[in-house]
Structures are given as structure tokens and as C-alpha cells.
Amino acid sequence: MMRTLFQWKCLILLGVMMMSTANAANEPLRVRSVFDINSAFCAIKTNGVLGMDNRDSAVVGRGFGTSSTNALLTLENGENEITAEIGALGWFSKENISDEARKMFKPDAGCKVALTAFKGGQSKVLSQLTVAIGKDGVPYVDPSMDTVKTEKIVVKKITAQQVEEGHLSSDYLIDNYFPDGMELYQFTQKVYLKGLPEWKWTKATPFTGKPEQIQALKIAYLELWHLLAEKNDIEIKRYLNESLKAWAMTTGDSIDDIYKSNTFVDDLKHHEFKIININWNDYDVEVMNNHRMVRFINKSDPSFSPLIYLIVNENGKKRLRGYSPIFSFIDGKFIPVI
């Protein structure tokens, strides 16, 4: 039986809201992207924001990954999108192989992501994508594996995120971490939700790339950079307040525990902690979530932001680490929201 879009919306929303039982009344609503990846590279995104990928596993030729990420932070009431991007492991190979060999997927390669709501001991799958490899060697969504039928899936063939040399010391880079010219198959599906927290970023002024906005974003980074350089733990925590509150609301943990879970909190205690000066030419702007979220990313390794620092580990070796918040323009300034 065919259902209208409105009927599907109602069914999904009802599924989320019915989990608010008496026993779970004090439990936070959690919405997570639960994924399972086999013999491939796969990136999981919610409204264009990367939640998790298995790049580390792909680099060493394994291509596995089973876990979940906190998707609620990037979701809003109404229309949302979940995305799975899949690429062949051959792209990460250091061997001298042909372009066709790099693009070739293993027959058992696949990527499954299920946007799942949790309340107390109950769970509900809201949307699901199961990507498999067809007989023609091309990824496709296997409809027989998806138990939740919602919206049409949009499929695109895209070029993966590309990098440039020279913007981060080669001592801290992996040659094949972001393969040159790598092709990805992108699968995107809409999902409609209700009863979610009203995050501040939903009311953010869209980022358009105007010079005054870029300058304001740089100022926001510099404020945090100086606090880190001063090891001003109290003021750093205050500066991150909005993002800490969001994480606490979606996990049930305290703001203090969320703050302490950041790697930089312990790293600040190192007497040889040294934050690196920012050269803005080393960074590009990455815009996400309908232009309401933005951050600077390093051109040689997008996993790094301008907030990078060095520490010396127990073996006396220098280690490069960093903190990469996501900002939104709210009430006349950029603030970290994730």
C-alpha cells in the first residue's frame, strides 16, 4: 500500500515519541547513527556533518568499522538528511596499480547506517541505508535489507575531499590518508523528525563567505587559541559552554564530565604543551548544515583545525594534537556549538 509523505512523517514521529514511557521519563532522548562497514571506506554524515568514518582502517587495507555516533547534535525538527559515502579500498593502496584496480570494490564490500532513537531501554530505527556492491561492481542500496521505508534515496558519484601538500609538517602526515582523485558513491536520504531539542544553531545566521564573516570566524578561533595558550581552564570551559550543554543533553553526562573528556584538557597539564601559531593560508573554510555550521580545516589534513599544539609523550617524542570545534553565527558572533 502506498503512503503519502505526510503519513510517513506521522509514523516516524509517532515512533520517536512513543518511546517516552514512564520508566524512561528521566532518560535523555538519544539519536545515534549506528553503522557497520565491511571491506570499504565509508563516511557517515548527518545534515552534511561528518559523524564518523573508518579512514584509519581503510589506510591499513582493512576497511572495517562497527560503532555509532551522536547524530542528535546535528538534527533538527522537520527535514533532515543522512548520508553514507562509500569508496573502494584500492584508493588507499601504496602499490603501483591501475586506476581501474583502485576503483574496484570487493564483492563483499558494504556500508550500513541506521539512524536510531534511544529512550531508556527502548530503541527505534528512524531511517536506514544499506549499501552493497552489485554484480556490475557498482554500489547500490539493497532494498531487501532496509526495514524502514521512508524517502527516496539520492545517489551521486563524487570526488572525495582532496588535500594539498605544504600546510602541515610531513612528520605528522600519512601519505595515503586522503587519496588523490578518490571517487565516492554518495547515498542521501531525507528523514522527518519532531520532539527534538531546539539547538541554537537552528537559528544561526547563514554563513555566506563574506569577508566580514570570515574575519569574525577568525576572531572566534583566536579567542579560543589565546585561552589554550594561557592554559586558562576556567575560561575555556566557559567559552565552550553552548557546545558542552548540547553534548550533556544528548548523552546524560554532566557538563563537567563532557569537558574533561576532551583530550586537550589533560594535554594542558603537560609542561611542554605548546600551541602552534596560526597561518590562515594553511586553512580553508568548511560549510555544513545549510550554511549554519562552519569551521576552518587544514589544507593538508582536514581533521586538523587552527587549534593545533605539540606535547611531548612519555617516550620523549613530540606529538601533534588538536581541537576542532564547529561554530555557528548566533547573536552577532561565532560560538562553538559542537
- Confidence bin at 146 (pLDDT 50/70/90): low
The domain limits of the chain are: 5-193, 200-336
Which residue in this structure is represented by grid cell 611531548? 312
105 DSSP assignment:
P
Reported as a pLDDT band with limits 50, 70 and 90, residue 23 is: very low
Distance of alpha carbon 238 from the chain centroid:
24
Closest CA to 166 of 281, 49, 39: 281
Find out whether 84 and 63 touch, Cβ atoms under 8 Å.
no
pTM strictly above 0.95: no
Sign of CA dihedral 201, 55, 147, 134: positive
> Mean pLDDT across the stretch 148-166?
88
Compare 47 and 120 and report the one with higher pLDDT. 47
* Distance between CA atoms of residues 195 and 217, nearest Å: 31
For 219-248, how does the pLDDT look when each residue is reduced to its tens digit (9 = 90+)?
A: 999 999 999 999 999 999 999 999 999 999
Provide the pLDDT for residue 7. Answer: 33
What share of the chain in percent tops pLDDT 70?
A: 90
Query: Could you give the CA distance from residue 102 to residue 157 in angstroms, rounded to a whole number?
Result: 15
- 20 pLDDT more than 60: no
Higher pLDDT, 292 or 9: 292
Q: Which fold has domain 200-336?
A: Nuclear Transport Factor 2; Chain: A, (3.10.450)
Q: How confident is the model at residue 19 (pLDDT cuts 50, 70, 90)?
A: very low
- Give the tens place of pLDDT for each residue, 117-142: 999 889 999 999 999 999 999 999 97
User: Is-contact 116 125, C-beta < 8 A?
Assistant: yes
Distance CA(98)–CA(103), nearest Å, equals: 9
Q: For cell 589533560, what's the residue?
A: 266
pLDDT in the model for residue 143: 75
- Using alpha carbons only, give the angle 295, 336, 29 rounded to the nearest 5 degrees: 110
Q: What region does 166 belong to: left with phi over 0, alpha with psi -120 to 50, or beta?
A: left
The DSSP letter of residue 334 is E
Please enumerate in sequence order all residues whose Cβ is within 8 A of that of 78, keeping only pairs 6 or more positions apart, or say none: 192, 193, 194
Query: Among the listed ranges 91-105, 142-156, 200-214, 260-274, which one has the minimum average pLDDT value?
Result: 142-156
| 212 close to 205: Cβ distance less than 8 angstroms | no
